[in-house]
Amino acid sequence: MTVVVVESPAKAKTINKYLGNKFKVLASYGHVRDLPAKDGSVRPDADFEMDWEVDGKSAKRLADIAAALKSDDRLILATDPDREGEAISWHVMEVLRKKGALKGKAVQRVVFNAITKNAVLEAMQQPRDVDAALVDAYLARRALDYLVGFSLSPVLWRKLPGSRSAGRVQSVALRLICDRELEIEAFRAQEYWTIDGSFTTPQGEEFQASLQAIGGRKLGKFDIPGEAAARAVEQALKGQPFKVDTVESKPARRHPYPPFRTSTLQQEASRKLGFSSARTMQIAQRLYEGVDIGGETVGLITYMRTDGVDMAPEAIAGTRNAILKTFGEPYLPSVPRHYTTKAKNAQEAHEAIRPTEMSRHPNGLRRALDPDQLALYELIWKRTIASQMESAELERTTADIGADGHDGKRYAFRATGSVVKFDGFLKVYSESLDDGEDEDSRRLPAMARGDSIGVKKIEGVQHFTEPPPRYSEASLIKKLEELGIGRPSTYVSILETLRTRGYVRLEKKRLIPEDKGRVVTAFLESFFRRYVEYDFTAALEEQLDKVSAGEIDWKQVLRDFWRDFTAALADVQDLRVSNVLDALNGILAPHIFPPREDGGDARACPSCGNGQLSLKLGKFGSFIGCSNYPDCKFTRPMSPNAEGGEAVPADGVLLGVDPESGEKVTRRVGRFGPYLQLGEAAEGEKPQRASIPKGRKPEEITLEEALKLLSLPREIGLHPETGKPIVANFGRFGPFVLHDGTYANLDSPEDVFTIGINRAVDVLAQKKLRGFQRPKANALKDLGAHPDGGGAVQVMSGRYGPYVKFGKVNATLPRDKDPQTLTMEEALALIAARQDKGPAKKKAPARKAARSTASPQKPAAKKTAKKPAKKPKAA
């Protein structure tokens, strides 16, 4: 019997069916070992020796593989056909070799691009050795990521309190997002006008045209800068006759797009289906590993992590047959189409993403796939079919019409349109556009030179230039690919890492940098600029590609990088915080010190008048403070445009006057956000203040609401048993009632102001019955039974937010994830990641290697000797 190792248990079951009982297929469950998350795992002084650590669960799986090999004489490593798959095979082989499990055993590597019976059986006939060059490239990449993370992150922790960590590739992606935000903030809209007309042909058909030239000179974008100039053009043309000067029609052809590669699949799934890149890859993984069709598990698409765009000859033949059968001979070109990718540093070793069997039409899979799976499969099927279809034939028409103005100048308008003569591949597929109208959707009515044209309306239209759009996940992936940064297997984890660390947030499908991310980027640009340069990162990726091709030595790449990187680290070690702040103030000025409406000094302190505002670094992150501290205690959040970060006057925004005390009620902004204040600070005393509850927009707070908040805590009455007061207030975790040290949560913020004594006593009694138990979490969604058994998987509502529950494992949902849209696949990934971390109060085993670059997390503070516990205060 031969032992075969694949990555996932789902693939193991399917492949074992294909191979029969002479093979035993076992799963490694991804990577089996990784560099321990501690200093010294890569040792540059020992020529980059690397220490690897196997986690507990992987050790058991490797033991199972070793046990199976005792009675077998052959090991086949059949992990995924990319670099990570090659690395997993190498790790498995190395661990088994050290165990002595491979003595006298034949070890071979096979790869298959699709999980179908034919593909698997054919691959088994073409075994090879583990590719040493691909493994070297993996080792170099992993060492680089480790060295950058564990060298640069401690510098961030010392120089930028509140920062988490930095990674080699993620930092460059973050810079792209932050640079775009700076462009948007520095952008100043410019007014311009166009002259648009609505005209009719002699047959009465209406069409639109716009002014292109005046007096024979072509107009520039800003040649009509304002309303006065636009109105002058309108008056010059008022009542003047128009004629057709020229009509020109030209044939044109639109060619189909190549089949999907990883990045283009993620981009189109985002545009057409609204999927995140992570969701797209999760569904694609499921389609690749296979679904049950007629009692047999069949892989529906080829491997989904690829930058190749061509297809195997038999796949092209199958696609052409499907075109002929479905659409007929006019839609089939005379020769097959072949594609090459234009992406930098692309590896053409793998096929494009395509259906494993082109005759498997999406309509025939409706019962086998869920809606999201079907939608993605249909997208892949249509794109693949279209890639081999005939080009679309169009006729593009341009009509120039003109009139002599009252001022003696000739005014030339132009109308354009297109007609699709033969739809070709457009019958199946049209790529989505990020912005704008498809030019082929406009058609011009028939007209001839010399025709008199009727005028329905000529009017000036005001426009303003717009800033560049923020990156979406799709457009960021496209940009990274254009720059040659990252690889198909890393795009998803790059985005996930940035969100997990709180460096960016996803809002309306656009990536917006958080203040924390902007500070980190500004720091790296100031003191490690070379290492966040796009060209440098792309050049390093190119070197790693050369390693994988066997062209250069991987350790020489590390030596060259480490020599320069350690020099840069040494330059920053003695850097003073004041130097850091000066650099950050300069780079972030458009963001943290936007221009004032009165044209005054943007950094002048609005409180004391003679101090200068500057970025400050506190224990809980960055904020803006005055240079005259402690004499001037003015502070505000770093971002003036963040919630509570608007530039309010130093003495606050007046909401009104308290009718009882006669004191002014103001809304103000401090370093921790917006708050309300009654009166002014007296000598040695603090004025009465109240925080604005979460979820309330500060600018919408009225005087009535402010007075209610300032009146808190509210005494509800005396407890009938103890005679002690019961009060209601807002706390860190929301509204509550308090009695004699016992806190009980309330259902809504309004309860703080309306709850009566009877209900308050009842709420406290219920809390007392529960003792110190937390309220039972509510199930938001039931995802069904875990595929490996062990119980149900549920999405729960917890005290600190939604989480996934499976048995005793609780996994927190990412902040930007809607619990109602969570799928079983996403839940299983969260559960697996939580299980890998181990019990919360124990030292976690080594993390499994991710498909992306990894950086360390900030170490916890050292524990001090425990003192005798005091009676805990109520929280």
Q: Which residue do the tokens 């081999």 mark?
A: 388
C-beta separation of 414 from 210 below 8 A: yes
Contact at 8 Å (CB) between 399 and 242?
no
Rg over alpha carbons for the chain, rounded to the nearest Å, is 33
Q: Which of 138, 146, 288, 303 is catalytic?
A: 303
**CB contact set of 277 (below 8 Å; sequence gap of 6+):** 266, 269, 270, 473, 474, 477, 491, 492, 495
C-alpha to C-alpha distance for 428 and 430, rounded to whole angstroms: 7
DSSP annotation of 355 reads B
Task: Give the residue among 510, 438, 506, 505 at the shortest CA–CA distance from 469.
Answer: 510
Full DSSP string of 227-256: HHHHHHHHHHHTT--EEEEEEEEEEEEEPP
3-class SS shares of the chain: helix, strand, coil, % to 5: 35, 25, 40
Residues ≥6 apart with Cβ < 8 Å to 70: 101
Task: Please report which helix (H) or strand (E) contains residue 77, including its range.
Answer: strand 74-77
Q: What CA–CA distance (Å, rounded) separates 280 from 269? A: 7
Full 3-state SS string of 464-510: ECCCCCCCCHHHHHHHHHHHCCCCCCCHHHHHHHHHHCCCEEEECCE
Provide the H-helix boundaries in 643-684: none
How far apart, in whole angstroms, are the C-alpha atoms of residue 752 and residue 705?
12
The closest of 351, 375, 357 to 284, measured between CA atoms, is 375
Q: What are the structure tokens assigned to 764, written together?
A: 């406290």
Among 350, 349, 344, which Cα is nearest to 542's?
Answer: 344
What single DSSP character describes residue 269?
I
Cβ 628 vs Cβ 605: under 8 Å: yes
The H or E element that residue 694 is part of is none
Q: Phi first, then psi: what are they for 309, rounded to 5°?
A: -125, 0
CA dihedral (52, 58, 63, 66) positive or negative: negative
Catalytic (active site) residue 534:
no
Q: Where are the alpha helices (DSSP H) in 660-737?
A: 703-710
Q: Name the amino acid, one letter, at 108.
A: Q
C-alpha torsion sign, points 574, 575, 576, 577: negative
Residues 719, 740 contacting (CB under 8 angstroms): yes
Q: Which residue has the tokens 């086949």?
A: 76
Q: List the 714-718 sheet strands across, edge first.
A: 714-718, 725-731, 734-739, 742-745
Do the beta carbons of residue 665 and residue 678 sit within 8 Å? yes
Looking at the DSSP assignment, which residues form a beta bridge with residue 214?
217, 411
Structural contact between residues 543 and 552, judged by C-beta atoms closer than 8 angstroms: yes
Q: Which two tokens stand for residue 135?
A: 């493994």
- Residue where the block lists tokens 């670094």: 617
Cβ-based burial of 624 (10 A; exposed 0-12, middle 13-18, buried ≥19): buried
> Among all residues, which ones are annotated catalytic?
303
